[in-house]
Amino acid sequence: MHDPTLWSGKLVGAMVITFIVQGVTIGAYAARLAGVQTKRIATSISLFNLFMTAGRLANLFMVFFVGPLSDGAGRAVTQASDPAVAAAWQHNFELQLRLIILAGTAGMVVFALLLPMFTYLFRRGVHSFEARGSIPHALARLFVPRNFMDILRSQRLPSFAEVRAFDWRVLPRRLLVFNLLVTAVYAIGVQSSFLASVLDVRVARTAISLSGVINGIGTIAFTLFVDPTSAMITDQAIHGRRTVEEVRSMVFYLSLTAIIGSLLAQLIFYPAALVIEYVARFANQFHF
């Protein structure tokens, strides 16, 4: 049996997909601000949902990369006659999963810096959709060279004074807290299940299946506590009860808490895997 290897093409592939998926989640926040600026909130929310759905769909393809890594580690653990060798493979797989989570954090940071460009992109998308009445046609227009260059030129980094002007006190604290927690759950939902499957290979299939339950809980929490509140703040800005600057603050702090949540995920990653391992064992031992 060969020694575990940290880096591989499959690991890099999983990191790239996670980078994009988590980054797109941050970029989608700009739809709220674009809705206020264009006064087309329903259309902007539709584009927001399109980006979020596309990101979650793309996340499914990560299984093609993480699955083989998990299978290889699981086989090595099963075949290892020395507990130290099995532990080495488990630790190596844990490091690989942590790198994947870290890639998601990097994607969030990069796409957060690109929020001005995404806001302009959503504004263009709203006007293009109104002119053509078709999302595919509106998206295709964004790739016209002249339009694409306009989008790139719209990017600029905010000054320190602009960042200081963002005020978290105008936002409900529960919005930021729940966004942080939901992001942490999403960041490790799949990865912690895969790690649990290698920690106890006897319940591997049950452990991996539990990832859907974890992400489902995260989706429900997002739908109940994050999305409605951010939509309400956007509606209030449309009707003049809040300012555009407050919506800018919301986008900034939603992005910031999401990044912090993905960092928090590193702390709860291994404990979450242990909980999933325990639940998977209980499910296998419980008889009706």
Determine the Cα–Cα distance for residues 31 and 42; give it in Å rounded to an integer: 10
Domain count, the chain: 1
Q: Is residue 3 in a domain? A: no
Other beta carbons within 10 angstroms of residue 40's beta carbon come to: 20
Note the pLDDT of residue 195: 96
HEC secondary structure over 265-285: HHHHHHHHHHHHHHHHHHHHH
- Three-state DSSP state, 6: coil
- Three-state DSSP state, 154: coil
What's the CA angle centered on 258, arms 151 and 19, to 5 degrees?
60
Range of the domain at 204: 9-282
List % helix, strand, coil for the chain (3-state, nearest 5).
85, 0, 15
Q: Is residue 124 in a domain? A: yes
Q: Is residue 204 in a domain? A: yes
Q: Is residue 2 in a domain? A: no
Cβ distance 10 to 194 under 8 Å?
A: no
Q: Is residue 87 in a domain? A: yes
Determine the Cα–Cα distance for residues 59 and 63; give it in Å rounded to an integer: 8
Q: What is the mean pLDDT of each run of 10 residues along the chain (288 residues)?
A: 86 94 88 87 76 73 89 93 92 97 96 92 82 74 79 82 89 95 91 95 92 83 89 90 94 96 96 94 80
Residue 163 class from Cβ within 10 Å (0-12 exposed, 13-18 middle, 19+ buried)? exposed
Other beta carbons within 10 angstroms of residue 46's beta carbon come to: 16
Determine the Cα–Cα distance for residues 96 and 90; give it in Å rounded to an integer: 10
Note the pLDDT of residue 32: 87
Q: Is residue 1 in a domain? A: no
Q: Is residue 52 in a domain? A: yes
Q: Is residue 210 in a domain? A: yes
DSSP for 240-265, please give it.
Answer: TSS-HHHHHHHHHHHHHHHHHHHHHH
